[in-house]
Structure 1
């Protein structure tokens, strides 16, 4: 029987409770064995609710647990680099929430740090493993669409309530629509084309209260004159779609 990968979670963030833990409960390959929070009470509460064996009142304690193989990091964006590197140094594989980093150099440092430590690093773009997107890649690679001409992506939602304490509205934490949901169509285009952009033009509307982009639209140019057009927003009617246009 295959040994299950033993997971530890850094923080009791809502995405961990609403998505990662329920998903892991259905997994045949992984099990959550530990969770950490800056608040011991929060860690104990979540551990009790989800039947997690161990709870820690600091992230460092969890990273020192020899029974943890891999770490899930759902921390605010500005903390991703720090704790990815610390997890790697502790010999743990890392699944880091998107966006992995706020700057290209930080992302490169994270990848290099994990390579040096001999651990696997992955960014938590769950859509890449969804059957719909696996089927999309099969269709594209089969040549059924012909030559790809353009890609169009949209991801918007309305977060007008409760913005004061929401990390998405905190500039210093890496808030903003592009970091939160604009990264999805950009990531998808890079996956589909298997290339990196050569030019980017973006127009955004910034919140006068929080100084972060609340809506944005852009053109991302790839080699061979293929373009991605995208829009994203946190104060917009909910929309989520991806269109790939070929010659066929």
Structure 2
């Protein structure tokens, strides 16, 4: 079977450090091209993929008949138009999250995907990680009994990087769009349910949200989470049931923030407790994401994170923005 030839639309730092190497390493994939007008930025990709073809503009990449799929790491506000342009050019698309700025954008994306008969998806990598698949299976099988509460947090501090696209409203910045998708999407993925009874408080700086506190329900379980781009780095998800608790130690940046681990806390018959830890030291969710994409394209396997799933996360995020009170 021929490998899926990939092109990257834009030489972002994230693409250079993570997704470019993941595509290059993934089974069934070949990193073939990069679109950038910057020779300096291209060198960073040539360092690990010497044979990569460099296009000097995005349209030239889309016109390249040798490219089967494109990965789009552009600023948030450019995701929808370039995803649609790539589909219209006959390319499969994996686009960075958030793939859209509001739920209504998904109507255009899904229509373009269906018209082209190609795969288009958001690069929501955590659902491809075995730690999250294991957590979902444990919770849904009743391992911790009835789920009572879900808690999440994700934060880092980028206040010093004033030109960062995450700090600029015109590029779709803000903590919710950048990392809120993780604490929201993780709860949706594990429970298989949608959030309801949503409440929120948001603090903004220079037109972007830098701290958001969210309350909700997922079925019978209550939910609380916060995200921030103005706090000491932290991340954690906890699923607390009547008969046990599951703690996801490094839920979102596995192998970068630390080792992926799941702690399963259970009571024992003598009144004490036990903690069972499952470790996932070697799994690269970026590489696994690319391989899942390739299988879907080449073998017709259902993709684990279709646009319909991403649409649900965006719908909850839209509700958070709508009901939020200012801090």
TM-score w.r.t. structure 1 length?
0.92
5+ long unaligned stretches in structure 1: none
5+ long unaligned stretches in structure 2: 244-327
After TM superposition, the structure 1 = structure 2 runs for residues 18-97 of structure 1, keeping only pairs within 5 Å, are 18-37=17-36, 39-42=37-40, 44-49=42-47, 50-97=49-96
Q: Secondary structure at the match of 2:30?
A: strand
Query: What is aligned with 1:121?
Result: 120
Query: What is aligned with 1:156?
Result: 155
Q: Check conservation: 2:11, 2:42, Cα contact below 8 A.
A: no
* Count of residues paired in the alignment: 242
CA distance in 2 between partners of 1:92 and 1:231 (Å):
36
Query: What is aligned with 2:305?
Result: none
Matched, 1:226 2:221: yes
Cα gap change, 1:131/1:84 in structure 2, threshold over 3 Å: closer, same or farther? Answer: same
Tell which has more relative contact order, 1 or 2 (C-alpha 8 A, sep 6+). Answer: 2
Deviant stretches of 4+, over 6 Å: none
What is the alpha-carbon root mean square deviation over aligned residues?
A: 1.6
Q: Deviations over 1:153-183 (max 9, x none)?
A: 10001112222x1000110111001111111
CA distance in 1 between partners of 2:228 and 2:82 (Å):
28
Matched, 1:246 2:245: no
Q: Check conservation: 2:140, 2:191, Cα contact below 8 A.
A: no
CA distance in 1 between partners of 2:42 and 2:180 (Å):
34
Q: Secondary structure at the match of 1:28?
A: coil
Matched, 1:12 2:22: no
Q: Check conservation: 2:154, 2:226, Cα contact below 8 A.
A: yes
Deviation at 1:107, TM superposition (A): 2.2
Deviation at 1:30, TM superposition (A): 0.9
